[in-house]
Structure 1
């Protein structure tokens, strides 16, 4: 949904015309799947890191347009709120020194962003799933980025909800129950989104493996324990995002059985085309823009897919020569706590998913989808203490599963990819030490609050100071 649109006011004719284009582009995409027309230049990795701009009081600073103008970097783009931005990297073939190259790129962009932000009234840049100091009154339309696509998104979500406000109800260590009248709750959730370009032949295996791995990934990376002064889930971002754009599919738009933000409805069976058919058949159009581009660019299909936020989302893109390609976007991990933590999370995922895909027995044949889904929400709620059922049918703490099986398995998978041995050890050692110390970003924040009291601004400042050191979170003091 990254493309800007020209206006936010639509008539029924706009929706009808869009659905007609969506149907024809979906049919064309189906033809490409039948012809096996997708790029074989794989695997290729990429990532997006969302971040917060904060002021000297550790409150959100709504200055992203000034920041972006000063940056002048096409890889740094706006997000929903004026206090959020997104940093991107150039995609890297997933072999040799890909991880250290991603690290170097992200590190350079991050440090330049920090420098530019400081020049705008001392603004600071923070990577964290949910900013501890954000307040409900910060999440207003006045703080929405000045882009038509965001204004239209808000209007259309409320239209499908028949004007009913969003209800946020999260039971964690404490209970949060509030009403919010627009989609700006979503802007409180910032993520590390990992992209993996895959072959059509193995795309189903990669997609299903990504779903299965969502639970251990979120357990190992949790960094969002607080919202509006309350301690909730280890990764509160998960229920917050799901409830902040709560619009279902057809047959009951606001409370339909298929939700726009969800773990999905099942494993892929024959091809990823099934997801795009589900998009067309089950989700009302939110942004019915009309594009004059050639049908083969799939502008309408890709825009529609961008308004459906599966935690693991299939994407259609194009190589430089115009060949279509398949990507899987892994969306479960929060931003932060540091650049090296982020690259370690990427290494862990890329290694694990490759190991599962290359396994003799498909992972999806060993773990029912409902169990993978239950694992995911348990991990988001309880982090390393979550009870997770793995492929062998055994259930146990996520921390033990990660240390005993999954960190070594990720190393094996990175080896299959031909990732440099030093890179493998450097980044997986961060995961190993984080899990063995039981010190995720979420557990560090909880420990700080237990020691210093429930001061969310002070917590944000303490977190920022340690983030600035560049040391991985498992080495932070409280």
Structure 2
């Protein structure tokens, strides 16, 4: 959800004062980085999982307020709509059994959430886009009560000059596609994701960020899990165009974006771009907070949704750090599948970072960006550009090559050997069977033609804990 804000109405002076704070904080972050003051701790990992509350008819259940009130704590929070929640796991070291602890925590939290949701005759499901979602479910009445969301919607629409948001998404299967217009940003609530966090020593972050951009396309292909929107088969990962179009702006610079290029030297460049190119949407500040809290910088960055996003935090050594948030992967299908995706990502980033200059010279940023949309549209059937031979290749063969790279990278990171085998074997089997979440959903619907049965079967398989490549249709 991001940090709640104290008000939802702003005056011109609020924007002026906020920008002054933002300029100071951005300059301070640059100074700290230049002087070597960013944390050198890591590797650390974390994740956020967005999920749906659904009722006994498998429709969205708008009960996150009563749900969260009963659940208590701060590791599960509200999302934009009343039927979405977000689960956060503790930060872990990747060495040893860290990913297994994260796996156990996420599994336990999902079980607790499901049990808690039963009080409202609901349950919880992790899936990119809910197959039973209806357009009326995305009305403004479904917005979670929050100053942040009220203000975000108003300011995002104001930045459009009040013009409605137009959706136009083609279908990878037929000529039907989907076109519509909306008067608010609530269509964003049709998408839920798995967001992976990676913190390394500062000198390693630029290479890891660029590697993360390059890996976005094969990651979205192997993890695709959102093939339907309002009863229509669209992209294998329809979440990608939905999120971009739900927050589209009438300028060349979009707030949901793959970015403008590889970073050259460090990740502070991205915050400097935030300052120079993007006007603030939520100008809320506290004069009593120190610039070293980077409160305005974080709030501004939270209104920009790069598919690979930098985040500022503070490490145990008291120093600020910049970590990576990889946002391209869908929620679900199983916890094991999501942990396998995480292992593939963390390991491949580590290995490709070792020769990042060569890789980025062979795969331009423009091609890496184009790859993302091809992979989101066609899933494991996509062909993408890749480095090495500079030729278009089936994305499945790229993922196949990523697996040994990830294995080597995870060994360098010190992950326990049995976990490397467990998680990467899961990816290998998914690749061998060509059954990721999107392909399972498409096949199941082709067989039965019923979105309620699809959702019911999906939920039962998810609760079983079996990886998606073992799910029957």
Give the TM bin, normalised by the shorter chain.
Answer: over 0.9
Tell me the equivalent position of 1:259. 254
SS at match of 2:202: coil
Tell me the equivalent position of 1:151. 150
The 1-side partners of 2:466 and 2:337 are apart by 9
Residue of structure 1 aligned with 2:268, choices 273, 281, 294: 273
Tell me the equivalent position of 1:123. 122
Tell me the equivalent position of 1:300. 296
The 2-side partners of 1:306 and 1:331 are apart by 13
Shift of residue 468, structure 1, vs aligned partner: 1.4
Tell me the equivalent position of 1:177. 179
Name the stretch that deviates more: 2-11 or 208-217.
Answer: 2-11
1:180-195 aligned within 5 A: 180-195=182-197
Name the stretch that deviates more: 351-360 or 422-431.
Answer: 351-360
Q: Do the aligned residues in 2 keep the contact of 1:166 with 1:244 (CA within 8 Å)?
A: yes
Tell me the equivalent position of 1:399. 396
The 2-side partners of 1:282 and 1:321 are apart by 32
Tell me the equivalent position of 1:250. none
The 2-side partners of 1:353 and 1:197 are apart by 12
1:10-409 aligned within 5 A: 10-120=10-120, 122-172=121-171, 173=173, 174-247=176-249, 255-291=250-286, 292-359=288-355, 361-392=357-388, 393-403=390-400, 405-409=401-405
Shift of residue 448, structure 1, vs aligned partner: 0.7
Shift of residue 362, structure 1, vs aligned partner: 4.3
Shift of residue 169, structure 1, vs aligned partner: 0.6
Q: Do the aligned residues in 2 keep the contact of 1:356 with 1:362 (CA within 8 Å)?
A: no
Distance 1:360 1:288, change over 3 A: closer
Q: Do the aligned residues in 2 keep the contact of 1:196 with 1:327 (CA within 8 Å)?
A: yes
Shift of residue 366, structure 1, vs aligned partner: 2.5
The 2-side partners of 1:14 and 1:60 are apart by 37
The 2-side partners of 1:66 and 1:191 are apart by 23
TM-score (norm 2): 0.97
Shift of residue 119, structure 1, vs aligned partner: 2.1
The 2-side partners of 1:359 and 1:410 are apart by 14
Q: Do the aligned residues in 2 keep the contact of 1:78 with 1:85 (CA within 8 Å)?
A: yes
Name the stretch that deviates more: 128-137 or 393-402.
Answer: 393-402
Shift of residue 311, structure 1, vs aligned partner: 0.2
The 2-side partners of 1:234 and 1:30 are apart by 40
Instruction: Provide structure 2 residue ranges, at least 5 long, that are not aligned to the other structure.
Output: none
- The ranges of structure 1 where at least 4 consecutive aligned residues each deviate by more than 3 angstroms after the TM superposition are 359-362
CA deviation map 1:262-300 (0-9, x unaligned): 111000002111111110111111000021311110100
TM-score (norm 1): 0.96
SS at match of 2:355: coil
Tell me the equivalent position of 2:455. 460
Distance 1:361 1:152, change over 3 A: closer
Q: Do the aligned residues in 2 keep the contact of 1:399 with 1:436 (CA within 8 Å)?
A: no
Q: Do the aligned residues in 2 keep the contact of 1:154 with 1:183 (CA within 8 Å)?
A: yes
Shift of residue 96, structure 1, vs aligned partner: 0.9
SS at match of 1:419: coil
Shift of residue 458, structure 1, vs aligned partner: 2.4
CA deviation map 1:117-155 (0-9, x unaligned): 1122x2010000001111111001111111110010000
The 2-side partners of 1:474 and 1:73 are apart by 34
Q: Do the aligned residues in 1 keep the contact of 2:39 with 2:317 (CA within 8 Å)?
A: no
Shift of residue 361, structure 1, vs aligned partner: 4.8
SS at match of 2:96: coil
Instruction: Provide structure 1 residue ranges, at least 5 long, that are not aligned to the other structure.
Output: 248-254
Residue of structure 1 aligned with 2:465, choices 454, 470, 477: 470
CA deviation map 1:16-44 (0-9, x unaligned): 11111111111111101111111111110
Aligned length in residues: 468
The 1-side partners of 2:25 and 2:142 are apart by 35
SS at match of 1:129: coil
